[in-house]
Chains A and B, each alone.
Chain A
């Protein structure tokens, strides 16, 4: 058996004899198991609840009686953001964004009822998910188990004995690395098994799963190497423990929060009141459908009349009110899209800011990798919002077109007692309207979005390996 193997076996035997270490390891495995089970149950519960709500909302829409189409524009529809299978591993921002949205004409409503506003303050302490366990807790456990791997030998003078017996430096370091790496493997395995189990759900994708697995493997390998490096660099075990704990605190606890605060201070976001007022202002500048003398709508009316070769709206083959509704919706919707894009661009700038700080903290990089691959990052929410707006626009315009074609202008403007009945169109139209179906991104897109984060973690891994080389060369030299 090679020397490195022997050293690794010895180190592992030491760890097994350490009762505290074993308890810690056992607790970590238990915690991971709890996290996998509870996060999975949570994800399935949410997915089922949202599916049920979505079905109820669709059924209610289809069951509406004969109505004026514009009534349906305001009856609107509720849609719910579905939760992908990998959200059980890393729910990302799911709890922090509203997951239901009311879609209606002329208005763009917010996504409401996020978990964060329905849970107690405890949710701000973090959520128990496999991702949280691996990102935050596993590294600290590795530190507790591994801070002494080399420092202890140096401190007690056994390193010299080892080397006198003919062990090479790289064999000593390699053996320790092997032992701690094995521990990391055991620590990460349950979460990875959970990931594989989750991936067997329908709709789970292979590429993002591989990205997640690669990211977390690299992350744990990085910590393993860092621990060995620090342990080999300092003289005393205690110094190694304090330095590593400080490193862990800064990179996984402090920087993510500080980065978020700095980003929100650096890139301001327009609040809803300001953008709503701005949208109303732009809309007035474009044209005011309420104003009979408005130049835009006067020109629009003339163009419609010219197109059909008539001189009065009453003579149009279509209901002019429906045509105006289509034009009005086109105008408001273009503004909604412009302001939503501006807000999203600002949020993307904030995230880019955080990612730059993420160069300093592999935990931030891993978090964005993990959320991106699971489709639970801001971009994933944005995909939902974009599809929701596209669906809203198509549905409202479908109803407006129905008003233009199926409701006569004379009926639409009448106010006699029977007019209400004549304005209504058949309920069968509501069933014919398509339901909202969220189109999940393909695996390549998700995995591609995870690449920048993966690159940062791998970059750190390379740096750590270089440091390991330096420490190995100097091991035991300067005492």
Chain B
């Protein structure tokens, strides 16, 4: 203990070390504050939905109430869905800046709606977010390098190494002590601000511990790299250059190369093709006998088939039926598209086993529920909500029940849960 305290005094006497630790703590705190304010903005946007929605639906109700037509209600009502950020989202914002977390859907064809995005500034999304994950994955290794590159070589260059090796509890045990001290201080610079933020955001203890363990493991990895490089017994300055090159390779270059490789190896049936096929299928309905459409729809959904036959005039049940037929006709493409996205994601995760930078990023995004899996889960919730919407409106349309003002309140509400 006394020895450690002594080492701490020695370390704190170096201006570079103190500055590095203070800077890392500051950057970590800044990233947490920015992340928390972004998550708060997202929460505020979600909290503002009901007021805006009430105004919008009231106007639709005013209009529909004149005809009591359930079809018009289905056609003009947009229903909000949202994906609330998880408690840990502030630490790794992941894909939440480029994928929508609020999406309004109608009971029409879902495949023409579910890929819509929200408004965002692409020039701000381009460099990526300044979140805790960025500080940990990109910046923390540089601080490890700053504190570890001269751990042994510095003493050698100062002519003290032989003396230190000869001391009781010197040599290996000394380097271990010093390494442990530096590592703990670096970890504390990251972990203390994080724990404060996590407590404020009421993150579950398990998730906090997981993040802290990941951070420690990642720092250990870089300290290990530094130890390996120091075995080459080069000068401090060469060590620093070699370590910085390793960082450049592992954090910047190889991930971009892997991205090119994955996208080339796993081509994706472009989403635009779903949209094109869906539109053809939906609009074709206007040019084929309406009975064909209904037959196809009833074959898949016999529960509605007792409905009265179509008259010569327009009926919304036919309109909604061909929209659903359209969705069902591209179901295969949708599955393939999703499988493609998942395959790319899986490949990137597999890269994470070799590239700690990618692995840590993927792990944090998984813990924060801001990765592709979370996006797809949100889409699943939208799909299941949309099914409920359809069933709700069909209940009026296929039995020709009038839809009046009070029925708007009976419409399904997005609950965020999977039903």
In the complex, are the beta carbons of A242 and B139 less than 8 A apart?
no
Given A122-B348, A253-B139, A271-B102, answer yes or no on A100-B272 (Cβ-Cβ < 8 Å): yes
In the complex, are the beta carbons of A56 and B276 less than 8 A apart?
yes
Contacts of A301 in B (CB 8 A): none
In the complex, are the beta carbons of B142 and A249 less than 8 A apart?
yes
Closest to B23 in A: A246
Stretch at the interface among B161-169, B178-186, B257-265, B387-395: B257-265
In the complex, are the beta carbons of B129 and A260 less than 8 A apart?
yes
Q: Cβ of B362 < 8 Å from any Cβ of A?
A: yes
In the complex, are the beta carbons of A272 and B115 less than 8 A apart?
no
Given A34-B257, A120-B344, A274-B52, answer yes or no on A144-B244 (Cβ-Cβ < 8 Å): yes
Tell me whether chain B's interface is mostly helix, strand or loop, or mixed.
helix
In the complex, are the beta carbons of A125 and B358 less than 8 A apart?
yes
- B interface, size bucket: 35 or more
Q: Cβ of B372 < 8 Å from any Cβ of A?
A: yes
Query: How far, in angstroms, from A257 to B251 measured CA to CA in the complex?
Result: 16
In the complex, are the beta carbons of B275 and A119 less than 8 A apart?
no
Contacts of B236 in A (CB 8 A): 238
Q: Cβ of B28 < 8 Å from any Cβ of A?
A: no
Q: How far is the CB of B140 from chain A (nearest CB, A)?
A: 12
B244 touches which of A121, A140, A274 (Cβ 8 Å)? A140
In the complex, are the beta carbons of B116 and A110 less than 8 A apart?
yes
Query: How far, in angstroms, from A242 to B23 measured CA to CA in the complex?
Result: 14
In the complex, are the beta carbons of B126 and A92 less than 8 A apart?
yes
Q: Cβ of A11 < 8 Å from any Cβ of B?
A: no
In the complex, are the beta carbons of B124 and A260 less than 8 A apart?
yes
Closest to A340 in B: B119
In the complex, are the beta carbons of B59 and A280 less than 8 A apart?
yes
Closest to B278 in A: A102
In the complex, are the beta carbons of A121 and B348 less than 8 A apart?
yes
Query: How far, in angstroms, from A237 to B45 measured CA to CA in the complex?
Result: 51
A122 touches which of B270, B312, B358 (Cβ 8 Å)? B358
Q: Mark each residue of chain A from 52 to 73: 1 if its CB lies under 8 Å from any CB of chain B, else 0.
A: 0100110010001101000100
In the complex, are the beta carbons of A277 and B56 less than 8 A apart?
yes
Query: How far, in angstroms, from A289 to B362 measured CA to CA in the complex?
Result: 51
In the complex, are the beta carbons of A126 and B347 less than 8 A apart?
no
In the complex, are the beta carbons of A265 and B38 less than 8 A apart?
yes
Contacts of A100 in B (CB 8 A): 272, 275
In the complex, are the beta carbons of A136 and B121 less than 8 A apart?
no
Known: A259-B127, A269-B120, A351-B121. 10 other contacts (CB 8 A): A34-B260, A74-B283, A102-B112, A118-B270, A124-B128, A126-B252, A254-B130, A274-B48, A277-B56, A351-B123
Chain A residues with a Cβ under 8 A of chain B = 20, 24, 31, 34, 38, 42, 49, 53, 56-57, 60, 64-65, 67, 71, 74-76, 78, 80, 92-93, 96-100, 102, 109-114, 116-128, 132, 136-137, 140, 144, 147-148, 237-238, 241-242, 245, 249, 253-254, 256-265, 268-277, 280-281, 284, 288, 290-291, 343, 347, 350-351, 354, 368, 371, 377-378, 381, 415-417, 419
Q: Could you list some 27 contacts between A and B, CB below 8 A?
A: A20-B241, A34-B260, A71-B286, A78-B279, A93-B125, A99-B272, A112-B271, A113-B275, A114-B117, A121-B371, A125-B251, A127-B256, A238-B240, A254-B139, A260-B128, A260-B129, A265-B41, A274-B45, A276-B56, A277-B52, A277-B55, A280-B56, A288-B63, A347-B123, A350-B123, A354-B123, A371-B123
